[in-house]
Chains A and B, each alone.
Chain A
Amino acid sequence: MAEIKNNSQKNTPVGMIVEQLYLFFDNKVPRYLVMSAMTAFLIYLPLSSSRFTQEIMANLFFYVVVCLGLNIIVGFAGLLHLGYAAFFAVGAYTTGILSSVYGVNFWLTLPFSIIAAVIAGLAIGAPTLRLRGDYLAIVTLGFGEIIRLTVRNLEITGGAIGLIGIQRPVLFGVVLNQITHFYYLFFILAIIAIFVSYRLHDSRLGRAWEYIREDEDAASAMGINVVSTRLYAFIIGSAFGALAGSLYAAKMTAISPESFMFIHSVMILLAVVLGGMGKIPGVILGAVIVTLIPELSRDIGQFRLIIFAVLLLILMLYRPQGIWPERQGISTKL
């Protein structure tokens, strides 16, 4: 079966190491062992770590969720989306307004947040997903700015100051106001996001996205409705972002338009591209890198962005498909 192996990834030493790891994890037993060990460690972590670490980790889980959400749009369906922050703004503001202005229970705001994201996703997706390629990137870029400027100028969203006094969620009589609570909350959300991503990937819908990404015309000749299938990806991805945004609002209790800048959309997209578009473990890895590198390199201050940029350039030159390797020809699955 030598000819099936993809040679392009074996050129670099990093590629080889990852390749070996990948083959190792293709086996179910080590995969589940490592996964349960990691889960156990992450459950235990808050008991023995500082608030600072927990804060970073909670932020990391948040990033995992939004990156997986964007991965459905960019990675699975192959649609370049440059305004993703707008969708978690939609979620955060829906929860924020309902909670601080109308006093609605946090958990009840979640369905509204999803509905708002679906409406926003439809509004922007339905007219633009007929277009090919780059047009969508421009429209989403514009949409991101429109949302940010809208919440900045509306009265109900608190203008430039933003919203304050968003209620803390209450779970089984406990008010969730400690960082440890949010650590676990985001952890659970991240696990759900990973689970849903895998399930979607291995489904009829997930395959349809892959077909369209590979060859749009052939996909439609096979009876796949390209526009509605893409719209589906767009809406699901948006809903992921909105849910994460709602939790973000509950954690911060205050949100302002500056939390949803273009740079956030870029960082999320970066994590997805860095790890490997469409590859779930790769995207998680990308989210980890994008959150941890700035934290770990805090000492060098402003230079860290430069280091980040150089790292990215090197990666894109030597491994444009992202850190995570491509699929092999014959999988051990099935």
Chain B
Amino acid sequence: MALLEIKDLTLRFGGLCAVNKLSLEIEEGSIRSLIGPNGAGKTCVFNCLTGFYKPSDGDMIFMGESLVKRKPHIITYKGMARTFQNLRLFQQMTVFENVMSGMHCRSSAGFIGAVLRTGSQKLEEKKIREVAEECLDFVGILDKKYYMAKNLPYGDQRRVEWARALATQPKLLLLDEPAAGLNKEEKSRLIDLMRRIRDERKITIFLIEHDMGLVMKVSEKIFVIDYGVKIAEGEAKEVQDNPRVIEAYLGKEEEEDAV
């Protein structure tokens, strides 16, 4: 059975249909991409999955459970983590503290534990720190752990977001345009990192991306949407040659002839 199954997902804002009867499946252990022109509704799909938007219709089944009407923090707890298109780090906090946030849903100490520093609270804090360090090490910025997040260069800030998402110990990682704003070298490291996440940590990856080269390289299967409707799905090559995809990205040939 698929790890994530989206069935007829529909999202309307008033009269505008941002996502229209979208259905797709993500198998466990795969890397899948969602592409489409600007404004096609890609991020809306992510926002529905992670509980930030309430879908108007349809169902999303993650590990056998429906995600409809679930709050974002519950969905994260169930094992789905995300990164944001525009970085959403905790700017005024250190890199380490940023990554520690991911462990929040895997820990439980409350007021009593905090004030009395009970044994279990200390153990838990130790565990939080260990996991955060391990995640920072994994993405390769452990040496910057006491920097303020806002003082890091853009590429490193992206990596903090990755480490933070990994610290929630997800089954499925949603990446919203992970390569945006990265240079060529950083992009190739990103591809490496994605493969390592999948192979070493057994985390399934679902990403939105504009950089076609990167998408073609990294993902086994691609979904293409335009105006909220799925117009193609398949391997990189198939999708690339699909006339509907070319039309969505470049416009119809007849129109070009007319001009």
Contact = CB atoms under 8 A, between A and B. Distances in A.
Contact of B92 (A195, A196, A214, A218): A214
Interface string A181-223: 0000000000000011001101111111011001101111111
B94 interface: yes
Contacts of A236: 111
A225 B101 contact: no
Interface stretch (B10-18, B69-77, B217-225): B69-77
Residue among B82, B90, B100, B121 with most chain A CB within 10 A: B90
Contact of A222 (B94, B110, B164): B164
B122 to A, nearest CB: 11
B154 interface: no
A327 B92 contact: yes
Contacts of B82: 221
A227 B162 CA distance: 25
Interface string B80-97: 011010001111111001
Contact of B128 (A204, A218, A220, A221): A204
A236 B102 CA distance: 24
Residue among B72, B128, B164 with most chain A CB within 10 A: B72
Contacts of A226: 73
Contacts of A106: none
B212 interface: no
Contacts of A4: 147-148, 151
A202 B122 CA distance: 12
A330 interface: yes
Contacts of B168: 222-223
Contact of B101 (A196, A211, A217): A211
Contacts of A329: 94, 146-148, 151
A56 B128 CA distance: 44
B188 interface: no
Contacts of B93: 210-211, 214
A324 interface: no
B201 interface: no
A298 B87 CA distance: 52
Nearest to A278: B92
Contacts of B50: 221
A223 B84 contact: no
Given A225-B71, A330-B146, A219 B109 contact: no
Interface in B23-82: 50, 52, 71-73, 76-77, 81-82
For the residues of A in contact with B, the DSSP-based class is helix
A48 interface: no
A111 to B, nearest CB: 15
Contact of A217 (B52, B81, B97): B52
B101 A330 contact: no
Given A205-B111, A222-B104, A215 B90 contact: yes
Nearest to A326: B92
A331 interface: yes
A202 B93 CA distance: 13
A215 B151 contact: no
A223 B104 CA distance: 7
A215 B89 CA distance: 8
A312 interface: no
A192 to B, nearest CB: 10
Contacts of B106: 223
Nearest to A205: B114
Contacts of B102: 222-223
B156 interface: no
A253 B11 CA distance: 62
Contacts of A215: 88-91
B242 interface: no
A299 to B, nearest CB: 42
Given A4-B151, A205-B110, A329-B151, A199 B115 contact: yes
B72 A220 contact: yes
Contact of A207 (B100, B105, B115): B100
A199 B113 CA distance: 9
28 contacts: A196-B115, A199-B115, A200-B111, A202-B114, A204-B109, A204-B125, A205-B114, A207-B97, A207-B101, A215-B88, A215-B89, A217-B52, A217-B72, A218-B84, A220-B72, A220-B73, A221-B50, A221-B84, A221-B88, A222-B105, A222-B164, A223-B76, A225-B73, A232-B111, A327-B148, A329-B94, A329-B151, A331-B146
The 5 tightest CB contacts between A and B, nearest first, are A223-B105, A203-B114, A223-B76, A218-B88, A214-B90
Given A222-B101, A327-B92, 16 more contacts: A199-B117, A200-B114, A203-B113, A205-B110, A205-B111, A207-B100, A207-B104, A214-B91, A215-B90, A219-B90, A220-B72, A221-B82, A224-B104, A326-B92, A329-B148, A330-B146
